[in-house]
Structures are given as C-alpha cells and as structure tokens.
C-alpha cells in the first residue's frame, strides 16, 4: 500500500537555505563538467561560465516548479511524486537545452544538427541521472529518520511504562489504607485515581501543561489524604497570568518528581515537611523545579541514593528534546532540589 505522505521524503526546497545548498551542489557539478571538456585555462573559464549559467537557471526553474507542485499536490504517493520531480527536471532541461541550441545556432547562422541533438540528449541524461540519485538519497534519508523516530518513540514509551506500575501500586495502597480510616476520603481518592488513569493511559505523546498540573494536583490530593495536612505542606510558586497552560509537553514529566520528593523526602520524616513546586515562564523555555527536605540519616523508611525516577526523567527529556532540555540536582544540608527547563516548541 503506497504511503500518502508525499513529498515528505523530499526536503523543503522552497526555503532560502535549501535553495542555496542546491545551487552550491549543482555549481560543483558544473565545475566538474567544465573541467572534463577543457584543455586550456581560457577554455575552462569560458566553458565554466556557460555551463554555470545553464545549470543554475535550469535548477532554479526546476525548484520553482517543484515548490509549486508541492503546494498544489500535497497528497501524491512516493512513487508518483518521484516521477513528477523527474519529469519536471527533465522537461526543464529539455526546454533549456533547446533554447540554448537555438540561440547558439542563430548566433552562428547554423541549422540544428545531429551534434546539437546529441548535446540536448547528454543534458537530459545527466539531469535524469542526478535527479534519480538525489531522489534515492532523500528517500533513504527519510526512511532512516522514520526509523530513528520510531526507535525513539519506543524507548520513550518503555521509560514511561516503567513509571506506571510503581505509581499505580502507591495509589492503590493509599486507597486501601483510607478504606479502613475514612470511606468518604477513600471515595474521593478513587475519583482522583480515575482522573489520573485517564491521563496516564492516554497514548498521546504530548499533553498540555494544564493536564500535567491537573494530574499532579490529583496525586497530591491522594497523598494529602494518606499523610495528612500536618505532615504534607505544599507550596506552589507560579504566576497563573504568565504561564503557558496550553503548552504541549511530554506526559508524566512533573508528577513522578513530585512522587519521588514525597517518597524520599516527606514520608520518612516523622513530622513530614514542605514540598515546593515552582514553574516559571522564561520566554523561550519553561522552568520547573521541585524541592523537598532531606530526612535525617536512619529515618524510618528513608532510602538514600534512590535516583531511579531522576535518571528515568533525564533519559525521557533527552529523547523528547535532545540537548535543549536538562535536569539539574542541587543538594544542601537540609534541602533537595530537582529542576529542569524545557524549550517551547
């Protein structure tokens, strides 16, 4: 079944950068052609001038037609689009060759001969071969990119799926404890869990910042019921008037860090502690940080050195944003802080 993603395997030839790269490549080809057919420096200069003029104008006209085609016919199959590009370059080369031969014949008052026809044939042959080579290169490159994207997506999904069993276990454990303490609160926790599971089971690769905050708030509601307000104090630091709540971000990018902070920083302390969550709009990026107190050594339930969630988050940020996102950890005697920034896209 042919793919209907058409012209997607071709780079956008309509941008100034792409046009410049294309012209540089064809000019290198013109230099090679001029060198092959010249025996003297003067002949080389003259031949290079004519060949460059011919290939540059032929290329510009071909690119113009391809750009028009890509906008008028965006749903061609890969085979059809390749054939169309080849026909465009061949026809443009044919017309340019005929015009060049007619101009040369008119200048020298000669009729178009067999050798003139051979000149036209050679131009079309060279143009066809180069077009097919580039089409093949672009197609292979596109397939490689699709493979890399699929591989990245699979790795990202695998990292995300590691979080869900641990998260679900904690949530169900909280509900089980609440059932024996307060059934009304247990019912609230079940409703919060249902809302959280809708977000977690969503297969989208991106969700809005608002959805991630809603997920985190639901989780904090459940933890607040389990630990009690005396042990868990939450301080939000964010400007609701400036935050891009509709910004698309990877799911489960804040909640796991909050869960980690509670599990390793708040829960082991007998008197609990304060959990700090801050979000700042930095113009071209979003800064998020989570802070928690460090429990004393030997505190009940404290497991030092457990950084699985943080390492997982580093890998997910790397897969989602590459080098444009980073996760930093700052530790003092009494406080642990995890922060990261993600670019706006």
Q: What is the pLDDT of residues 136-156, one digit of tens each?
A: 888 888 777 776 665 666 555
CA dist 287 and 254 (Å) reads 11
333 and 233 in one domain? yes
What's residue 22's pLDDT? Answer: 82
Q: Is 1 contained in some domain?
A: no
Domain hosting residue 281, numbered range? 228-343
Q: Is residue 180 part of a domain?
A: no
Confidence of residue 74 (pLDDT cuts 50, 70, 90): low
Maximum average pLDDT range among 43-47, 115-119, 138-142, 198-202 = 138-142
Instruction: Name the residue with higher pLDDT: 181 or 237.
Output: 237
Are 118 and 27 in the same domain? yes
**Claim to verify: residue 22 and residue 137 sit in the same structural domain:** yes
Instruction: Tell whether the model's pLDDT for residue 87 goes beyond 60.
Output: yes
- Averaged pLDDT for residues 125-142: 86
The count of domains in the chain is 2
Percentage of the chain beyond pLDDT 90 is 18
Same-domain check for residues 33 and 138: yes
Residue 89 has pLDDT above 60, yes or no: yes
Out of 101, 127, 146, a domain closes at: 146
Closest of 124, 75, 115 to residue 97, by C-alpha: 124
Q: pLDDT-based confidence at 8, cuts 50/70/90?
A: low
Q: Is residue 174 part of a domain?
A: no
Same domain for 31 and 140?
A: yes
In a domain, 85, yes or no: yes
pLDDT score recorded for residue 235 = 95
User: Residue range 44-57: average pLDDT?
Assistant: 84
- Confidence at 233, pLDDT banded by 50, 70, 90: very high
pLDDT at 244 over 90: yes
Greater pLDDT, 3 or 185 = 185
The tens digit of pLDDT for each residue in 52-62 reads 888 888 888 98
Q: Does residue 158 register a pLDDT over 60?
A: no
Structure tokens at 177: 């404890």
Identify which of 217, 21, 296 has the alpha carbon closest to the alpha carbon of residue 138.
21
Mean pLDDT of 217-240: 88
Single out the residue of 265, 249, 290, 288 nearest to residue 160, CA to CA.
249
Q: Which of 1-10, 33-42, 64-73, 218-227 has the lowest mean pLDDT?
A: 1-10
Asked, for residue 116, whether it belongs to a domain, the answer is yes
Q: Is residue 151 part of a domain?
A: no
pLDDT of residue 15: 83
Residue ending a domain, among 81, 114, 146, is 146
Which residue(s) pair with 341 in the sheet?
Answer: 287, 326
Q: What's the predicted TM-score (pTM) here? A: 0.57
Q: Indicate the DSSP class of residue 119.
A: H
Which domain CATH number covers 330? 3.30.565.10
pLDDT at 1: 36
Residue 161 clears pLDDT 60, i.e. is over it: no
Which of 119, 146, 173 delimits the end of a domain? 146
Residue 309 has pLDDT above 50, yes or no: yes
Q: pLDDT digit string (tens) for 260-299?
A: 898 889 988 888 899 999 999 998 999 999 999 998 876 5
In a shared domain, residues 20 and 142: yes
92 lies in some domain: yes
pLDDT score of 213 more than 70: yes
Cβ partners under 8 Å of residue 193, min gap 6: 171, 172, 175, 218, 222
CA pair distance 48, 283, nearest whole angstrom:
50
Number of H helices, E strands in the chain: 8, 7
Residue 88 lies in a domain: yes
């Amino acid at each position: 079944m042919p793919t209907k993603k058409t012209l997607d395997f071709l780079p956008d030839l309509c941008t100034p950068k792409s046009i410049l790269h294309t012209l540089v490549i064809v000019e290198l080809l013109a230099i090679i052609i001029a060198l092959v057919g010249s025996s003297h420096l003067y002949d080389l200069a003259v031949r290079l001038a004519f060949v460059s003029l011919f290939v540059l104008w032929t290329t510009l006209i071909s690119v113009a037609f391809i750009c028009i085609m890509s906008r008028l016919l965006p749903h061609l199959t890969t085979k059809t689009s390749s054939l169309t590009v080849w026909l465009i370059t061949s026809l443009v080369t044919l017309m340019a060759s005929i015009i060049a031969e007619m101009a040369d014949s008119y200048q020298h008052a000669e009729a178009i001969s067999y050798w003139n026809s051979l000149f036209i044939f050679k131009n079309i042959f060279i143009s066809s071969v180069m077009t097919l080579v580039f089409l093949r290169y672009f197609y292979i490159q596109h397939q490689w990119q699709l493979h890399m994207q699929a591989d990245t997506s699979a790795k990202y999904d695998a990292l995300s799926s590691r979080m869900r069993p641990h998260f679900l276990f904690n949530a169900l454990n909280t509900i089980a404890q609440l059932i024996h303490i307060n059934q009304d609160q247990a019912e609230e926790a079940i409703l919060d869990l249902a809302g959280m599971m809708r977000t977690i089971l969503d297969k989208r690769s991106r969700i809005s910042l608002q959805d991630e905050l809603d997920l985190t708030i639901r989780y904090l509601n459940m933890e607040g019921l389990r630990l009690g307000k005396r042990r868990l104090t939450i301080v939000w630091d964010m400007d609701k008037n400036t935050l891009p709540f509709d910004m698309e971000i990877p799911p489960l990018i804040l909640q796991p860090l909050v869960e980690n902070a509670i599990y390793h920083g708040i829960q082991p302390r007998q008197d609990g502690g304060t959990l700090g969550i801050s979000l700042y709009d930095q113009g071209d990026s979003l800064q998020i940080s989570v802070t928690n107190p460090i429990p004393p050594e030997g505190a009940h339930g404290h497991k030092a050195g457990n950084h699985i969630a943080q390492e997982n988050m580093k890998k997910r940020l790397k897969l989602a944003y590459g080098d444009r996102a980073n996760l930093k950890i700052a530790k003092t005697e009494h406080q642990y802080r995890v922060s990261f920034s993600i670019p706006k896209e």
